[in-house]
Structure 1
Amino acid sequence: MSTSDVTRQGVRGARPARDALTGSARARPDAPRRDGRAPEGGFRSYYGRPVLNRIPWAARDIAGYLFLGGLAGSSSVLAAGAELSGRPALARTMKATALGAITGSVAALVNDLGRPARFVNMLRVCKPTSPMSVGSWLLAGYGPLAGAAAATELTGRFRRPGTAATVGAALLGPAVAAYTAPLICDTAVPAWHEGYREMPFVFTGSGAAAAAGVGLLGSPPAENGPARRAAVFGAALETAALARMRRRTAAVADTHRGGRAGVLLRAAEALTATGALGAAVLGRHRWAARVSGAALVAGSACTRFGIFYAGIASAEDPRYTVVPQRERVRERAAAGLA
């Protein structure tokens, strides 16, 4: 189309039925509006294109990155508690888990970025308002501490520097476990963005449950007391935060119930509840503790993958973008009138 095609009567030669329609399905798709805004239609976007660009991330990389980061940070906290309370087997298990998990998390992130240089380039600046920048610096500081703590534990040398590294990793652990929540919430993906208030608590609880599961798997019953308590705490926090997030974000909560995300999140709820109950009641028995630990780890992984797929579903359906926006407009208008 050129400028000569535009006349006072409209666009010369324009084809009908090319209007961009979004809105509620309760109105007729072709219903005219007097205020000049787009008519209320069946949530069709511009010329059939999605409102948001398709998420290019692979579930294996990004959902795995989210899960392993939470496992690593929570494992360091549990490792420090075990070491300071005289539980060497549990401390050794959690230190090795923290190192392995953070290594896998960084590898998944680098694989998604395409080449390691892109991760290094993110360390050229420090931007406190950017979750990605803050997260990159967290990983750069936490990784060496977790590595030093695990190396001194496994070799039996440099015990005092190893204890200092363990405490340092534990101090950064909660931030490492939680920062991936604002990282995904600071996007336009509705199922993630709308849950920005509760998502850090969901991720922290999920990470604590996963670390507790590994502790139950790898430590003797005589030392797994902190892991059993962490399992109950993590499961309760994750369940409560998820329930609150779904109530508050009812406009996008459907993405947690249908499709692949629904299957994974239902499995996560069942596995996490079973693992926490087994840890609390039967955690002093070796095989019961191991079964409960496996259920907790699997439940945490299902939570991260389920939230990832819920985000993909919400980005593909324009309804989840349009409805929350219109609800906020109505709320602001009502507040202004009040």
Structure 2
Amino acid sequence: MSLSEFDSYRPPEPPRRRRRDGARRRGTGPGGGGDGAREMPMVPEPEFTSYYGRPVVKPAPWGHEVAAYLFLGGVAGGSALLALGGQLTGRDALRRNARLGSVTALALGGAALVKDLGRPERFLHMLRTFKPTSPMSMGTWILSAFGAGMGITVAAEADRMTGSRLPLGPLRPVLRAVEGPAGVEAAVFAGPLAAYTAVLLADTATPTWNEAREDLAFVFVSSASLASAGLAMITTPVDETGPARRLAVLGVVGDLVATRVMEHRMDPVAAEPLHEGKPGAMLAWSERLAVAGGLGTLLGGRHRAVAAVSGAALLAASALTRFGVLEAGLRSAEDPRYTIEPQKNRLAARRAAGITDDSITTAG
């Protein structure tokens, strides 16, 4: 009999029965038959798990800096759209505050991203290539193009706010001429800026993020609408926040609908981290605050105090959505169940559909 260090993992053998004549029964098969090995089967019924319960996929090494970047990118993108609306409709205060809010969010988000990268030059290294199949590469270029347009518009706003005292010299007429087109260019990249981070998460092997790949971008864009509209309602007089109030109401409806559709289309097992523990609590509060902020905007958004409180609720709802989704994905990567069970469910669905002759399924 050989001994191994893994013998301690072997389940105990059941007691062997003896015949009345004292002889041991031969075999373990039904009816007393068997192959004469007189040992319990050493291959138990298969159980789909990982080695020693360790994660099947490696959790992403992302912390709160990345969650802050996800949130602030949405604020920047949505605010750029509101700034364009103010620019086209003659709402000067809305245009100015939305531009300033967008650039502030962009700067803070960039700082959070650089902190996560560890070294600032890593961001510049990503600009050395242009790879359409890489969300990270495309996101870098989207962020750069968006930042260039918003930088021009904010420079023009700063010059106006200081009474044309910036030392621009002959560049001032040029700045005035390109301000409008720069605002349009930034707004063109605003939507991709708010959505690409969802593609970045869904393109990983993290179970919950990957299962939400078809709808997560809609959730993030709706969340960006909440955040930017809420910021505008806090910083801008109510007589100019009509576009922000409408965007807030549409954002609340879009956020609730997109989230429900996303969860319905996900594998129920992979969707569990969105409802349990800390991520579940954050997402539940996000929904409550979104509904409260939307109702406050709809019923009392023309009153300054109500508008400010509703805007703060919408901002908090958007932040909790980003933090909750990030945390749920990290939790799903830590438990092998969220990787293996959805795979089994997909395999069973393919077999039920009659797909048994490809490299994924087999007729057995």
Deviation per CA, 1:125-172: give whole Å up to 9, x if none. 111000000001111111111111112122125333111111110011
Superposition TM-score, scaled by structure 1 size: 0.88
SS of 1:331 mapped into structure 2: helix
1:200 to 202, 214, 217: 217
Task: Give distance in 1, aligned partners of 2:115 and 2:355.
Answer: 51
Aligned-pair CA distance for 1:12: 7.2
Q: In the alignment, which of 304, 313, 317 is matched to residue 286 of structure 1?
A: 304
Q: Does 1:179 align with 2:196?
A: yes
Letter in 1 for 2:337: R
Give 1:22's aligned residue.
none
- RMSD, aligned CA: 1.9
The amino acid that maps onto 1:32 is P
Aligned: 1:32 with 2:49 = no
TM-score, with structure 2 as normaliser: 0.82
> Structure 2 counterpart of 1:123, which letter?
L
Are 1:133 and 2:142 counterparts? no
| Residue 56 of structure 1 pairs with residue 61 of structure 2 | yes
Question: Aligned to 1:217, what secondary structure does the other structure show?
Answer: helix
Matches within 5 A, 1:150-189: 150-156=154-160, 158-189=175-206
State the partner residue of 1:5. Answer: none
Matched residues in 1 for 2:43 and 2:230: separation? 56
Work out which of the residue numbers 307, 310, 315 in structure 2 matches 1:297.
Answer: 315
Aligned to 1:269: 287
* Alpha-carbon offset, residue 32 of structure 1: 2.3
CA contact (8 A) 1:153 1:159 kept: no
Partner of 1:100: 104
Is the CA contact (8 Å cut-off) linking 2:59 and 2:206 kept in structure 1?
A: no
Alpha-carbon offset, residue 239 of structure 1? 1.1
State whether residues 230 and 311 of structure 2, in contact with CA within 8 Å, keep that contact through their aligned partners in structure 1. Answer: yes
* Cα distance in 2, alignment partners of residues 242 and 17 from structure 1: 47
Code of the aligned partner of 1:309: E
2:54 and 2:335 in contact (8 A); partners too: no
Separation (CA, whole Å) in 2 of partners of 1:49 and 1:251: 18
Residue 147 of structure 2 corresponds to residue 143 of structure 1 = yes
Give the whole-Å Cα distance in 2 for the aligned partners of 1:17 and 1:308.
Answer: 39
Report the Cα offset of residue 17 of structure 1.
5.7
- Spell out, residue by residue over 1:250-289, the C-alpha distance to the aligned partner (whole angstroms, 9 max, x if none): 2222111111101111110011111111111111111110
Q: Separation in 2 of the partners of 1:18 and 1:166?
A: 66
Query: C-alpha deviations, 1:105-140, integer Å up to 9, x for none?
Result: 111111111101111111111110000000011111
**Contact 2:71–2:319 (CA<8 Å) still a contact in 1?**
yes
**In 1, Cα distance between the equivalents of 2:349 and 2:187?**
42
Residue number in structure 2 paired with 1:71:
75
Instruction: Give 1:18 shift.
Output: 5.3
Which residue number in structure 1 is paired with residue 16 of structure 2? Answer: none
Q: CA deviation at 1:231?
A: 0.2
- Aligned identity (percent) is 46
Which structure would you say has the larger Rg? Answer: 2
Give the Å deviation of 1:57: 1.2
Match of 2:234 among 208, 217, 242: 217
Alpha-carbon distance in 2 for matches of 1:259, 1:126: 39
| The one of 302, 315, 332 aligned to 2:350 | 332
User: In the alignment, is residue 87 of structure 1 matched against residue 91 of structure 2?
Assistant: yes
Distance 1:48 1:137 in 2: 40
Partner in structure 2 of residue 237 of structure 1: 254
For 1:336, what is the secondary structure of its paired residue? coil
Distance 2:343 2:53 in 1: 20
* In 1, Cα distance between equivalents of 2:337 and 2:54: 13
Contact 1:69 1:176 in 2 (8 A): yes
